[in-house]
Amino acid sequence: MDWFLNLKAQPGCPAVEQDFQAWLSHSPMHGRAFEQALKTWVLLGEVPPAYEHLWKPSAAVTVLPPPRRRWKAWTAGAVLAIAACALVLLAGPSLLLRLQADHITRTAESRTLTLEDGTVIEMGGGSAIATEITASVRRVTLLSGEAFFDVAHDAARPFTVNAGGVAVEVLGTAFDVQLADGETTVELARGIVAISYDGPDHKQSFELSPGEMAAIKHGTGTVMRATIAPEDVAAWRTGKMFVNDVTVGAAAERLQRYHHAWISVPDPALASRRVTGLYDLNNPDSALEAMVKPFGGRVHAVTPYGRVLARF
C-alpha cells in the first residue's frame, strides 16, 4: 500500500519507478501483494491502473541487484530526480501559499490574531491570509480556508476581505468567510456587509443582514442566499462544521482542512449529492460517515493517511 501511494503521488518519477521495480524483484510475494493492493485503484476510479507495465505478471520483470549494491551505482541524476519529485510533491502548493501569506495555519489548527487597527481574526484549519493595514487602507486577502472577522469600527477606513474574487466590505461588524474550490461563502453574525463580485459577464453587489449567509460561485457569479442560526455562524470555532445545501464533494473538501488523511470522492454521483447539517470536526471520520451514509456511501480507510468515499 505504501508503494501504491508513492506511485500515485509521484507519477512518472524515474527514481520511484526504479525503486519500485527493485522491490518487486526481491520476491514473487511482493508482486502478488501489490496485485491485492490494486483493488484500491478501483476505489479511486482509475481503470486500468497506472504502472501496470511495472507490476503485471505477464510482463518481464528485470531482476535488479539488492538495494544496497544498487544504491552505490546510482548516478547524481537519479538523486536529483528524487529531490525534484519530492520538492514538487511536498512543497508546491504549500510553498506558494507561504510566499503570499502573512499568517497560515496547519491542518486542524486554529489561531487568533489581532491586527494593528484592533480587528480580531480567528483562522480555521488549513487557512492562509495576507494583510494590508495602512493609514488609508484595511485589506485582507483570504488565500485558503476560512476565517472569522470581528472588525474594529473605523468610518474613515472601510475594511475589505477578498476571497476568490469576492469582496466583502464593512466598517465594523463580525462575519465569517470560507474559500473553497469554485465558491466563496459569507456568514454574517453582526452588522451589515456589502458583497461584490466581478463576474465574466457582469458585476453584481448586494448586502447581507445578521443571520444571513450567501454562497457565490466563481466564474458564473451565481448567488445562493439562506438564513443561518447565530450559533451556526463560524461553527468551526466550537469544533463543528455547518453546511447548508452543498455537495458532498464540497463538504469533504472543507472537512479536509481538519483531517490529516487525504480524502477522495471518485464517484461523481456521490460527490454531487447535496447535504445540510452540523458535523463534528473533532471526529472527522464520523463526520464523513454521517455525510455519505444517507446516500448508501461508506468511508474506506485505505491507509492511515487515505480515505475514499464510495457507495460500496
Contacts of 289 (CB under 8 A, 6+ apart): 298, 299
Q: Are 100 and 122 in contact (CB under 8 A)?
A: no
Q: What is the dihedral of CA 172, 178, 184, 186, to 10 degrees?
A: -40
Q: What pLDDT score does 66 carry?
A: 47
* pLDDT tens-place string over residues 11-21: 677 888 888 88
Where exactly are the structural domains of the chain?
A: 2-100, 103-231, 239-312
* pLDDT tens-place string over residues 26-61: 888 887 777 766 665 555 555 444 555 665 554 444
In three-state secondary structure terms, 66 is coil
Q: What's the grid cell of residue 235?
A: 461553527
* pLDDT tens-place string over residues 77-92: 444 444 444 434 444 4
Length of the chain: 312
Per-residue tens of pLDDT for the chain, all 312 residues: 667 766 766 667 788 888 888 888 888 888 777 776 666 555 555 544 455 566 555 444 444 444 444 444 444 444 444 444 443 444 444 667 778 899 999 999 999 999 999 999 999 999 999 999 999 999 999 999 999 999 999 999 999 999 999 999 999 999 999 999 889 999 999 999 999 998 777 788 999 999 999 999 998 889 999 999 999 999 999 999 999 999 999 999 999 999 999 999 999 999 999 999 999 999 999 999 999 999 999 999 988 889 999 987
Reported CATH class of domain 239-312? alpha beta
Q: What pLDDT score does 236 carry?
A: 96
**How far is residue 115 from each of residues 70, 143, 219, 233, 300, measured CA to CA in Å?**
55, 17, 31, 22, 42
* pLDDT tens-place string over residues 256-274: 999 999 999 999 999 999 9
Q: What is the CATH number of domain 103-231?
A: 2.60.120.1440
In three-state secondary structure terms, 74 is coil
**How far is residue 11 from each of residues 38, 48, 62, 67, 82, measured CA to CA in Å?**
16, 15, 20, 21, 12
Contacts of 288 (CB under 8 A, 6+ apart): 252, 255, 259, 263, 299, 307, 309
Give strand pairing partners of 223: 216
